[in-house]
Amino acid sequence: MRSAHNISEYRERIRRIVQSVAVLPDEQMNEFLNLFQLEVYPKNSIIITPKTTKNKLYFLVSGLVRIYYEAEGKEITSDIKEENSFFLNGYYLYTGLPNFDYHVTMSPTVVLSADYDALEALSDRSHEIEHMGRKLVELHYANFLISNYNQLFLSAEERFDVFQRERASLLNKIPLKYIASYLGITPETLSRMRSKKT
């Protein structure tokens, strides 16, 4: 029976993203892409937990992944990963300290994943791969800084305006309580803001 998933097409998506930040010789690009293998998850699957110590780099092919942590008995959404984005167990990987967040699918989800140790070994052998990895980390860090700036210095209404401008499709895909949590406001405040904008 023929697989419904075209891994080659999924790897091509990664190729296009990588080529937007760095140029790799074909042989090294193919070696990098071949590290990524298919994983399929139903809705509400937990991909990463605070106990996860296996390091993988994930590429989200389809679906949605909510990243959240627990504080004072509440779930606080820190990010929502959409298709064509990367994610990993970064806190544990970069600090060696126990992870504190969960990565949970919000719909049936398809990812490609690559073992981080294998990626590191490939980086050790190739300056171009190492450079590409650094550029991807810089891109991720820039987005992290922008998100933190927005949380610290923008008003709730300004944060909602940015979200509506940059991630409007999510407003109809996921429960508003998660968006409210991500924006640092109550669901009631979010509802009022939405009504004012329509």
Q: Please tell me the predicted confidence (pLDDT) of residue 2.
A: 45
pLDDT above 80 (res 96): yes
Residues 6 or more apart whose CB falls under 8 angstroms from that of 61 comprise 10, 13, 83, 84, 110, 111, 112
User: What one-letter code names the amino acid at 125?
Assistant: R
- What integer pLDDT is reported at residue 3 of this predicted model? 56
Q: Which two tokens stand for residue 31?
A: 């070696």
Q: Percentage of the chain with pLDDT > 70?
A: 98
Each residue's pLDDT tens digit, 152-168: 999 999 999 999 999 99
Alpha helices in 35-126 (DSSP H): 90-95, 116-125
Res 80: pLDDT:
96
pTM, to two decimals:
0.92
Single out the residue of 143, 71, 81 nearest to residue 106, CA to CA.
Answer: 81
As given in the structure block, the two tokens for residue 133 are 């990895």
> Is residue 129 scored above 60 in pLDDT?
yes
Does residue 94 or residue 14 have the better pLDDT?
14
